[in-house]
Amino acid sequence: MSGSNINHVTVLGGGVLGGQIAWHSAFKGKTVSVFDPSPEALRKCRDAHRSYAEIYTRDLGASAADIAATHDRVTYRGDLASAVAQADLVIEAVPEVPGIKKKAYTDMAPLLPAHTIIATNSSTLLPSDFAEDTRRPDRYCALHFANLIWTYNVAEFMAHPGTSAETLKKIALFAIEIGQVPVATQKEVNGYVLNGWFVPLLTSGLSLVVNGVATPEDVDRTFMIYNRGCGVGPCGFIDMVGIKTAYDVSAYWGEVAGDQQMKDNAAYLKERFLDKGLQGMMGGQGFYSYPNPAYADPGFLAVPDATVVPDLVRRALLT
């Protein structure tokens, strides 16, 4: 089977996951444009790419030449027309807010080359929600990446009823070309396969904290003990996903489903983190402090000595 013929990739949105998709695609040989209307977002994306260069050197064995070539393949643009002018594929990674996504598609539609295909990286929304806004529904689908794309290398793709087989073929081949394991979602469903279990996990873990049942550390500790070998728990995962994304998902689905717990979770994330400028792992602070979070300490899951008992009793008393 021939390759995808996707050589020029445009990523709409220079946030946490958009920046990772852009860097990793460039590392795998694609020419990439990152578009964001915010100069500050583009600056943060550049900064993140410098940190990824260190990670890829340390964890993936990338050479200095590999890193230099990756930097050379990425451009950062605040002008949408120039960002998409040569795009074979546009990956939409704007905030998880329907109105923002719709505007991104309608603004972009008249600017695209005829052959360009579009994929949304939406975490929980359906491609059919936006297919008509793209003005090319046959060349549109979802392509969802996991955070820390270089480690959690799964790429889920999901069609809407008007997506062509050729589009899906190109998307699956593209995923393989950039080192991802493609997973076909067999029907339209909010959350794909991964977020079908991941979002409920994070929601449940966060709810335990919001409702005062447990500390973030104990939520994660119980999860990691029960899933030996897993290096992160629900609250650590929220830091990885990004506090803003977790807030957007909780706020949106809290309203849609009339779910008061999710609304409370969104309020907690806003008050405890976003209002204080705390973004999670990529910002250096969330439930944990980075680059050395407590859950990565070798003693995090160890049996403690008896000196911890008074504090445990204090926290467990119901008076």
Domains for the chain: give ranges and CATH numbers: 8-184 (3.40.50.720), 195-298 (1.10.1040.10)
Rounded to two decimals, what is the model's pTM?
Answer: 0.81
- Strands laid side by side in the 140-145 sheet: 74-77, 31-35, 8-12, 89-92, 117-120, 140-145, 154-158, 181-184
How far is Cα 42 from Cα 19, in angstroms, rounded to an integer?
Answer: 9
The residue behind tokens 């329907």 is 98
Contact 158, 182 (CB under 8 A): no
pLDDT at 29: 97
- Low-confidence stretches of the chain (pLDDT beneath 50): 1
Question: In this predicted model, what pLDDT tens digit does every residue of 170-219 receive, in sequence order?
Answer: 999 999 999 999 999 999 998 899 988 999 999 999 999 999 999 999 99
pLDDT at 124: 83
Burial class (CB within 10 angstroms; exposed 0-12, middle 13-18, buried 19+) of 93: buried
Q: How far is CA 149 from the centre of its chain?
A: 8
